[in-house]
Amino acid sequence: GVRVRRVAVDYASHTRHVEAVEEVLAAELAGVTALAPEIPFYSSVDGTWIGQADVLDAGYWYRNLRHTVGFEPAVRALIGEGFGVFVEVSPHPVLLQPVSEIADTAEVTPLLVGSLRRGEGGMRRMLTSLAEAFVRGVDVDWTAVMPTPYTRHQLDLPTYAFAHEHYWIQRTKSATPAGSFGQTESDHPLLGAVVELPQSDGLVFTSRWSLRTHSWLADHAVHGAVLVPGAAFVDLAIRAGDEFGCEILDELVTDAPLVLPEEGSVRVHVAVGGEDPMGRRSVAVYSSTGDARDAGQGGGQEWTRHAYGTLSPEAPFAGAGAGAGADSGQWPPAGAEPVDLADLSAVLAKKGYVHGPAFQGLRAVWRRGEELFAEAALAQDQRPDAGLFGLHPALLDAATQPALSLAGSDDETPLLSAWHDVVLHAEGATSLRIMLTRTGSDTLSFAAVDETGTPVLRMRSVAARPVSAEQVGAAAVSGDRERLPEVRVRRRRPTVQVAVSADERRALADRLETLPAAERRELLLDVVRTQIAAVLGYATADRLGADQGLFEIGFDSLIAMQLRNRLAELSGTKLPSNVVFEYPTPSMLAAFLHERTTDRLAG
């Protein structure tokens, strides 16, 4: 019942192992003169306020590394002195939950605010965190953090509150039917319409992509740019082949990254050529940022080819593909050793990848010699559309992340560049069991089944090639569009701390006292779902299922703590700080809250 995370260090801080560097540290810091801190701080080493210079010598910093960290006594002392706001300045909040637990024992409720978050390391996140503190009463010197043009003039604002609403709508359909333009509408989420090519027996699928219409793609970022994964090209090619009974993707080579702009959209064409004597057809994916009207005004359009290959009506190879011996019914296969997902994520981050919630589908990985075995599942909010894809690109990308982590050196960013002999056996999968076998330095064979062992997809090989940050940056520049700013992972919804009013508390208490137990449970489920939507910044909880996994839809430790605080304030019931981790679905949280409120009402 204790959550544990292994930390990749080769020594034990705050133990006798540190004693080996005491003399070295003293010698290295002997010539360093410490200045008095401009802002006094409470030391977790000495358990007192530090405001003078002579304390912070080499001996202090050695004690800081060698002795026990007095975090709990320091926080308790600050609370005792009347401090009610704690701001964690770090790449990702990890200490706010223990601060909350310490505050619980002191029976106080301080304001807890982070600064940055994992995957959100830019000024936007920092300013959002400052704003969260500001709207709860903390003084902020905005002139020190905002550019001069924004602080030079004060503007009168409307007296009514701004009504910003967020919805779970992932894409939009054109109000004008495709048939009005001589096209056939496509049911694929990434393809808008189909156009027949005269004199060639071919087709062109045409669509327009943006982060507004396909917001889940924002969760796939490489070197600061929103990059369409190669898995999307595979699914597009397979869908195009379905129009002609070409069930085999003989080969698909990606030759240029496709970067989505922060604002605006790109036009996408998937072109399928005529049949050759062997029954094969060419397939290629193109994009353009130009307007379709430009071509008719003599301006022309610049198209970039991103992937090309061939489709075939016949299976090119026999056999079960990768993962020989994995069909015995045992999962994971005998002899397979688990791989630490945290280590794998660190490798991908070092290679330039940042995956948001939609692309965090990898659940477990095992290794057995040259074989890899993995489990991947589609994020809950992507599952309603799974049946519209052959294989959802986010799920296929998660399944091939063991391949990306193995390819290239530590400082190279690999992109999946060549797919050979791909066969899709079943459509609409939401989870996979994957088997990969290394067939070369940067190539692997691949097979995937569902939880029942039914084949979903197999391919003879997938290969990777390195790409530089400069190449991705060049792909992000087109016409007058500037290079994209830093990574935009959780761009769908900023989380904010919203206070619960006294009227809300009274209204809920009155209803709970008058309702029978069964109706009370239903009410609390509605309350929990509404509060989940509130901390995620959504206007409605209509599409949030009772058994939805909260950490599958973007919850982290800070959001979990915000939800816990809102539920505690609203219900007037003391809740443990880890309640969301212990009860990570709306129905489980509602059941726990029902138990607590029932005991309180009975008492």
pLDDT tens digits for range 140-189: 888 887 766 555 566 666 666 555 554 544 444 444 455 444 557 678 89
Question: What is the structure's pLDDT at 489?
Answer: 28
CA dist 69 and 49 (Å) reads 15
- Both tokens of 549, joined, read 């996994």
Q: 589 near 583, Cβ under 8 Å? A: yes
Residue 226 scores a pLDDT above 70: yes
What are phi and psi for residue 465, nearest 5 degrees?
-140, 150
Of 193 and 336, which is predicted with more confidence?
Answer: 336
H-helix or E-strand spanning residue 375:
strand 371-377
Q: What is the pLDDT of residues 542-574, one digit of tens each?
A: 778 888 888 777 677 778 888 888 898 888 888
Residue 596 scores a pLDDT above 90: no
Q: 452 near 433, Cβ under 8 Å? A: no
CA dist 265 and 288 (Å) reads 9
pLDDT tier for residue 321 given thresholds of 50, 70 and 90 = very low
Q: At a CB cut-off of 8 Å and minimum separation 6, what does 481 contact?
A: 261, 264, 289
Q: Which amino acid is at 434?
A: I
pLDDT tier for residue 504 given thresholds of 50, 70 and 90 = confident
In 258-316, where does DSSP find H-type helix?
A: 292-296
CA-CA distances (angstroms) from residue 14 to 23, 61, 68, 189, 203? Answer: 16, 12, 6, 54, 67
Q: 192 near 172, Cβ under 8 Å? A: no
Residue 28 scores a pLDDT above 60: yes
Q: Please state, rounded to an integer, the average pLDDT across all residues of the chain.
A: 81
Q: At a CB cut-off of 8 Å and minimum separation 6, what does 482 contact?
A: none
Domains, the chain, in order of start with CATH, read 16-151 (3.40.366.10), 178-317 (3.10.129.110), 326-467 (3.10.129.110), 502-602 (1.10.1200.10)
Whole-number percent of the chain with pLDDT over 70: 81
Q: What is the distance between the terminal CA atoms of the chain, rounded to a whole angstrom?
A: 29
In 2-57, where does DSSP find H-type helix?
A: 22-28
Question: What is the structure's pLDDT at 496?
Answer: 46
The mean-pLDDT minimum among 100-104, 233-237, 319-323 falls in 319-323
Largest CA distance in the chain: 86
CA dist 366 and 340 (Å) reads 9
Q: 365 near 403, Cβ under 8 Å? A: no
SS3 per-residue string spanning 171-205: CCCCCCCHHHHCCEECCCCCCCEEEEECCCCEEEE
Q: 225 near 472, Cβ under 8 Å? A: yes
Task: Give the three-state DSSP class for 268.
Answer: strand
Q: Is the peptide bond before 393 cis (omega within 30 degrees of 0)?
A: no
CA dist 352 and 412 (Å) reads 8
The 10 Å Cβ neighbour count of residue 295 is 12
H-helix or E-strand spanning residue 444:
strand 443-449
pLDDT tier for residue 291 given thresholds of 50, 70 and 90 = low
Q: Which single residue is written with the structure tokens 């509060």?
A: 531
DSSP 261: P
515-544 mean pLDDT:
84
User: pTM for the full model?
Assistant: 0.53
Q: What is the pLDDT of residues 341-382, one digit of tens each?
A: 888 888 888 888 888 889 999 999 999 988 999 999 999 889
Q: At a CB cut-off of 8 Å and minimum separation 6, what does 572 contact?
A: 505, 509, 600
Q: What is the pLDDT of residues 446-497, one digit of tens each?
A: 999 998 889 999 999 888 877 766 667 666 654 333 332 222 223 333 444 5
